[in-house]
């Protein structure tokens, strides 16, 4: 057993149908305790597109039972004797999509971890759910009451950021912040963001916070145009409504971030939005993969086609600093944890404007005895 006086319970996906609103509430066994671990009493957890891909085994077979959720915020209720980063009981912390990796501690040398690029660890990357810790325990996510994680991957949340704002930053936020920052988005850069969902809305807001003054949102319809402009976009392209969209916007951008979660998209036309030496960053991860790529935009405009995977704990801390400094506020809707199945259905129907955050209603920051 977990050796605690609280229960690890959550919404468990038992098979692919869990992505159709069939998760079941139940108990799970967290990883075996190590002194570098913390237990978190969960206050809230965002719903990310990746949760749905995983629940429906869209990226390959999921190891059910799976408790999804990797935008977790809560209070530390137990801290081991060897926790890192000065984390202590009572701290408000967040956990994103990664909750451990080799960190160059195994007998296999990991140059990537030695350089602190933990999110790209090739030896043993542990996803916050559907993963296996170095000690063999399974990882369970944040659609739950409690979570046990290695302390290194928990990040303290600045007092200025409310929990339901911090939650979606932990995955959607850092996944868009890290590549925009890495590729030099700032004043003078012309930026495009494809897909205005959880990730995309952060993409627009980070581009603005980083100082870009030309930010174009690219969506299929114009239904989100007003929202995009309110977030900081300076222009909007509705590809399904304007047959001339490419002719009007060809070679007009320096950096394009694609967050689309399905593959039915004019990908080669998107590449043609970039100017000479432009950078196309794919972060959306459709189950079906990307459409076939043609060479023309790559050759004629010397485009760089790249991707990006979440962010390291340090990236998350940097992002929080920018969010505080520039007062970046995500558009979230809080939903009771009880209604997680309905929230998944609504997410799949494209209803979020722009992130759902599941909230444990009976949450109090102190550990409660059962
Ligand atoms: N690279 C990473 O590290 C990383 C991290 C988190 C999420 N993701 C992936 O990013 C994607 C987006 O996640 P999200 O949580 O923002 O989901 P979301 O549903 O909130 O947003 C996706 C948006 O893309 C739009 N969209 C979907 N298909 C499209 C298409 N073919 N053309 C244009 N627009 C399209 C949707 O309408 C929606 O607005 C998912 O595939 C998710 O798995 C990747
Ligand atoms: Zn995610």
- Residue 354 CA: which ligand 1 atom is closest? 20
pLDDT, residue 1, reads 46
pLDDT, residue 3, reads 61
24-27 and 9-12 as β-strands: parallel, antiparallel, unpaired? antiparallel
179 with 281: CB under 8 angstroms? yes
pLDDT, residue 368, reads 45
Question: Residues 217-250: pLDDT tens digits?
Answer: 999 999 999 999 999 999 999 999 999 999 999 9
- Residue 309 CA: which ligand 1 atom is closest? 3
Residue nearest to atom 11 of ligand 1 (CA): 284
Gap between the Cα atoms of 69 and 66, Å rounded:
10
pLDDT, residue 362, reads 86
Gap between the Cα atoms of 256 and 194, Å rounded:
7
Mutate which of 54, 199, 306, 343 to test ligand 1's pocket (most atoms within 8 Å of Cβ)?
A: 199
Instruction: Give the distance (Å) from ligand 2 centre to CA of residue 71.
Output: 7
Helix, strand, coil % (nearest 5) of the chain?
30, 25, 45
Residues of the chain with pLDDT under 50: 1, 367-370
Q: Is 225 helix (H, G, I), strand (E, B) or coil?
A: helix
Instruction: Give the distance (Å) from ligand 2 centre to CA of residue 139.
Output: 15
Q: Is 257 in the pocket of ligand 1 (CB under 6 A)?
A: no
160 with 194: CB under 8 angstroms? no
pLDDT, residue 211, reads 98
pLDDT, residue 366, reads 60
Mutate which of 192, 197, 350 to test ligand 1's pocket (most atoms within 8 Å of Cβ)?
A: 197
pLDDT, residue 334, reads 98
pLDDT, residue 154, reads 98
pLDDT, residue 364, reads 79
Encoding tokens for residue 107?
């007998």
pLDDT, residue 217, reads 99
Q: Is 56 in the pocket of ligand 1 (CB under 6 A)?
A: no
Q: Is 142 in the pocket of ligand 1 (CB under 6 A)?
A: no
Q: Is 179 in the pocket of ligand 1 (CB under 6 A)?
A: no
Instruction: Give the distance (Å) from ligand 1 centre to CA of residue 199.
Output: 7
pLDDT, residue 2, reads 53
Gap between the Cα atoms of 9 and 12, Å rounded:
9
pLDDT, residue 33, reads 98
Model's pTM, two decimal places?
0.97
């Amino acid at each position: 057993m977990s050796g605690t006086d609280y229960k690890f319970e959550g919404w468990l996906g038992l098979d692919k149908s869990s992505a159709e609103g069939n998760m079941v509430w139940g108990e799970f066994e967290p990883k075996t305790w190590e002194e570098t671990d913390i237990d978190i009493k969960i206050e809230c957890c965002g719903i990310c597109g990746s949760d749905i891909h995983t629940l429906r085994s869209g990226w390959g077979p999921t190891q059910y039972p799976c408790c999804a959720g990797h935008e977790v915020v809560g209070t530390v209720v137990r801290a081991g004797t060897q926790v890192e980063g000065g984390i202590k009981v009572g701290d408000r912390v967040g956990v994103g999509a990664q909750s451990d990796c080799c960190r160059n501690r195994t007998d296999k040398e990991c140059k990537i971890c030695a350089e602190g690029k933990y999110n790209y660890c090739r030896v043993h990357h542990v996803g916050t759910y559907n993963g296996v810790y170095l000690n063999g325990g399974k990882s369970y996510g944040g659609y739950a009451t409690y979570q046990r994680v290695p302390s290194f991957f928990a990040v303290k949340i600045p007092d200025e950021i409310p929990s339901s704002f911090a939650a979606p930053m932990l995955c959607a936020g850092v996944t868009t912040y890290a590549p925009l920052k890495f590729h030099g988005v700032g004043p003078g850069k012309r930026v495009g963001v494809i897909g205005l969902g959880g990730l995309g809305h952060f993409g627009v807001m980070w581009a603005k916070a980083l100082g870009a003054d030309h930010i174009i949102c690219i969506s299929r319809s114009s239904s989100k145009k007003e929202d995009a402009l309110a977030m900081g976009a300076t222009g909007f392209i509705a590809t399904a409504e304007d047959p001339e969209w490419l002719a009007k916007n060809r070679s007009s951008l320096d950096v394009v971030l694609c967050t689309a979660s399905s593959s039915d998209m004019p990908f080669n036309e998107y590449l043609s939005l970039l100017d000479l030496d432009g950078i196309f960053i794919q972060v959306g991860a459709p189950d079906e993969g990307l459409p076939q790529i043609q060479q023309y935009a790559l050759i004629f405009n010397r485009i760089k086609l790249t991707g990006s995977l979440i962010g390291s704990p340090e990236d998350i801390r940097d992002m929080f600093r920018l969010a505080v400094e520039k007062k970046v506020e995500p558009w979230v809707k809080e939903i009771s944890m009880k209604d997680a199945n309905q929230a998944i259905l609504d997410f799949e129907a494209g209803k979020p404007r722009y992130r759902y955050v599941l909230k444990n209603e009976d949450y109090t920051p102190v550990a409660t005895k059962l």
